[in-house]
């Protein structure tokens, strides 16, 4: 999903809003952090803590808003 959305923003932007790019960047950083935490820890406590944090929840809401502004439906098998 992230790869597809990143390509849409780069090659066919609907709205070149820097705020959209900011939230996509925040999302990518958070996803990379969660993957690294899951890789480094067998218990997954740190990743679960990060996912449930209010900042991460806001990133999710903002990304949902960004995705909703793109007219093409999201791919189901990308």
26 vs 69: CA distance, rounded Å: 18
Contact 21, 9 (CB under 8 A): yes
- Looking at residue 78, its pLDDT comes to 53
Between 38 and 74, residue with greater pLDDT: 38
The rounded distance, in Å, linking the Cα atoms of 24 and 6 is: 8
More confident call, 18 vs 23? 23
At 49 the pLDDT is 86
pTM assigned to the model: 0.67
Residue ranges of domains in the chain: 20-68
């Amino acid at each position: 999903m992230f790869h597809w959305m990143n390509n849409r923003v780069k090659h066919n932007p609907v709205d070149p809003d820097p705020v959209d790019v900011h939230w996509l960047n925040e999302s990518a950083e958070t996803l990379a952090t969660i993957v690294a935490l899951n890789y480094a820890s067998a218990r997954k406590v740190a990743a679960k803590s990060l996912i449930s944090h209010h900042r991460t929840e806001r990133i999710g809401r903002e990304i949902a808003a960004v995705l909703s502004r793109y007219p093409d439906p999201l791919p189901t098998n990308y």
